[in-house]
C-alpha cells in the first residue's frame, strides 16, 4: 500500500459522530488551556478509553482513533477507528499523547486532506 492509497482510504472512511458532551479529554504529556482543548485534538491520533470505576485505577484503552474533524456548531467530534461500534459505546475518555499523524498522510498530492489548507496566514 502506498502513502497515497492509505491517505485516500482514511479520507474516504466514514467517521463516527461523537457528542462532545459525552466524552472527557486527557492530555498525557502536557497542560492545554481549557479554551484550546478541542482544537488540540483535530487531526490527532487518540486513545479510546473507558474511565475506571475506581479513580485510582488506570483507564482501559480499547483502541486508537483519528480525530478527523470538529463541528463546534453541532458539538460533535468526527473520529475514524477500526474499533467496533459495540465497544465504542462504552468509550467516554479520549487520551492524547505524542503519537502524530505522519505529515506524508496530510500532504498527499491529489488527495484533499480535511486537516490542511493553502489559504492560511502564518502566526508569528
CATH entry, 3-106, from 2.40.30.330, 3.30.1280.10, 2.60.40.1930, 3.40.718.10: 2.40.30.330
Given a cut of 50, whether residue 120 has pLDDT beyond it is no
DSSP secondary structure code for residue 2 in this structure:
-
C-alpha cell at 26: 486527557
Cell of 49: 478509553
39 backbone dihedrals φ, ψ, rounded to 5°: -60, -35
> For residue range 73-103, what is the model confidence (pLDDT) as tens digits?
999 999 999 999 999 999 999 999 888 777 7
Question: Angle at the Cα of 24 (from 21 to 30), degrees rounded to 5?
Answer: 135
pLDDT 10s digits, 16-59: 999 999 999 999 888 888 888 888 898 889 999 999 988 889 99
Task: Assess contact for 91 and 49: CB atoms under 8 A.
Answer: yes
pTM of the model: 0.80
**Structural contact between residues 105 and 3, judged by C-beta atoms closer than 8 angstroms:** yes
Amino acid at each position: 500500500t502506498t502513502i497515497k492509497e492509505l491517505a485516500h482510504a482514511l479520507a474516504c472512511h466514514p467517521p463516527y459522530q461523537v457528542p462532545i458532551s459525552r466524552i472527557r479529554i486527557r492530555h498525557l504529556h502536557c497542560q492545554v488551556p481549557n479554551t484550546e482543548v478541542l482544537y488540540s485534538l483535530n487531526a490527532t491520533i487518540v486513545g479510546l478509553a473507558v474511565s475506571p470505576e475506581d479513580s485510582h485505577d488506570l483507564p482501559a484503552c480499547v483502541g486508537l482513533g483519528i480525530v478527523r474533524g470538529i463541528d463546534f456548531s453541532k458539538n460533535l467530534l468526527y473520529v475514524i477507528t477500526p474499533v467496533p461500534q459495540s465497544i465504542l459505546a462504552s468509550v467516554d475518555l479520549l487520551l492524547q499523547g505524542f503519537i502524530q499523524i505522519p505529515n506524508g498522510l496530510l500532504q498527499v498530492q491529489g488527495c484533499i486532506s480535511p486537516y490542511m489548507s493553502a489559504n492560511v496566514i502564518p502566526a508569528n
